[in-house]
Amino acid sequence: MSSTATSPAARPAPGPGTERITFAQGLRDSMVVARRNLLRMLRIPEVVLFGLFQPVMFVVLFSYVFGGSIDVPGAGTDPGAYRELLMGGIFAQTVAFATAGAAAGIAEDMQKGIIDRFRSLPMARGAVLTGRTFADLVQTAMTLLVLAIVALLVGWRVHEGLLNALAAFGLLLLFGYSFAWVGALIGLSVRSPEAATSSGLVWLFPLTFVSIAFVPSENMVGWLQPVAEWNPFSATVLAVRELFGNLPAGYEAPDAWPMQNPVLASLLCSIAIILVFRTLAVRKYRLASG
């Protein structure tokens, strides 16, 4: 770690009578940690490339294998309508699956003792996790960009203008950032990167598939429908579909409150997840490094 003016090591270690670390210093520490993780991603590009492969594969498989067999409310089995409806689910699934990468990365840093090295520096305790989650957010944004290009190639289009499209991507990034904090807590709670990866994925599959991401809730068995409709993942999926203009003309949202107010529901859920899991993760970090 460099001892330049931007490094946490440039400040004297806090001792009796010293001032507490300010918000600006904590933010600067977070950016130093984020830069370290982004440089690491650049030096190991295969990690980023393999992270791109899965969502691209989902786009191609679901578009051309299931595109003509799933009934879209208001559009029948039109493959084009399903491709447009599908992309909101793929985008949301992609940012949610970034949880596993965040969990594995933090678990690896714990295992190698890098977290202990950060702990020995006079830096804000929450900066290590904030920096890591910010770096994950940058990687998620890059993945979304590539995924959007692939989606355009298979026929996906935006119909509600640039501002609404930017708002949709903003919602997706906020949702992804909230799940990065879930990954941070998982990474601090397990003993190895392998366990972190498994723990980060095992609950994501039911979360994403018991939702309206790939099939309408009315196509599910009766007791699963309210589960899917109140799933925060479903709210984000429907919100971005509305903002992109990817809902068919005859589509009618289910009566559940999140389905009637998807943008607001997605915002509230993402903010709540960040507040809860950031608090738990920072507390876990302090206990682990105490």
Position with higher pLDDT, 287 vs 229: 229
Identify the band that residue 2 occupies on the pLDDT scale cut at 50, 70 and 90: very low
Query: Can you give the pLDDT at residue 70?
Result: 64
Query: Can you give the pLDDT at residue 289?
Result: 56
Query: Can you give the pLDDT at residue 3?
Result: 41
Contact 33, 2 (CB under 8 A): no
Cα distance between residue 153 and residue 165, in whole Å: 17
**Side chain identity, residue 227:** V
Q: What does the pLDDT look like over 26-73, one tens digit per residue?
A: 788 888 888 888 887 777 776 667 767 777 887 877 777 766 566 666
Identify the band that residue 19 occupies on the pLDDT scale cut at 50, 70 and 90: very low
Position with higher pLDDT, 261 vs 2: 261
Q: What is the arithmetic mean of pLDDT over 224-247?
A: 94
Contacts of 125 (CB under 8 A, 6+ apart): 282, 285, 286, 289
SS (H, E, C) the chain: CCCCCCCHHHCCCCCCCCCCCCHHHHHHHHHHHHHHHHHHHHHCHHHHHHHHHHHHHHHHHHHHHCCCCCCECCCECCHHHHHHHHHHHHHHHHHHHHHHHHHHHHHHHHHHCHHHHHHCCCCCCCHHHHHHHHHHHHHHHHHHHHHHHHHHHCCCCCCCHHHHHHHHHHHHHHHHHHHHHHHHHHHHHCCCHHHHHHHHHHCHHHHHHCCCCCCCHHHCCCCHHHHHHCCHHHHHHHHHHHHHCCCCCCCCCCCCHHHHCHHHHHHHHHHHHHHHHHHHHHHHHHHHCC
The top-scoring range by mean pLDDT among 1-10, 43-52, 219-228 is 219-228
Q: pLDDT at residue 273 above 90?
A: yes
Strand partners for 76:
72
Query: Can you give the pLDDT at residue 6?
Result: 44
Q: Which of 236, 207, 219, 235 is nearest to 73 (CA)?
A: 219
Q: pLDDT at residue 268 above 90?
A: yes
Lowest mean pLDDT among 80-89, 152-161, 186-195, 274-283: 80-89
- Evaluated on CA atoms 123, 127, 128, 132, the torsion sign reads negative
Cα distance between residue 104 and residue 194, in whole Å: 7
Q: What is the distance between the terminal CA atoms of the chain, rounded to a whole angstrom?
A: 22
Q: What does the pLDDT look like over 193-220, one tens digit per residue?
A: 888 878 777 888 889 999 998 888 888 8
Query: Can you give the pLDDT at residue 252?
Result: 85
Q: What does the pLDDT look like over 121-162, one tens digit per residue?
A: 777 777 888 888 998 899 899 889 988 988 888 888 899 999
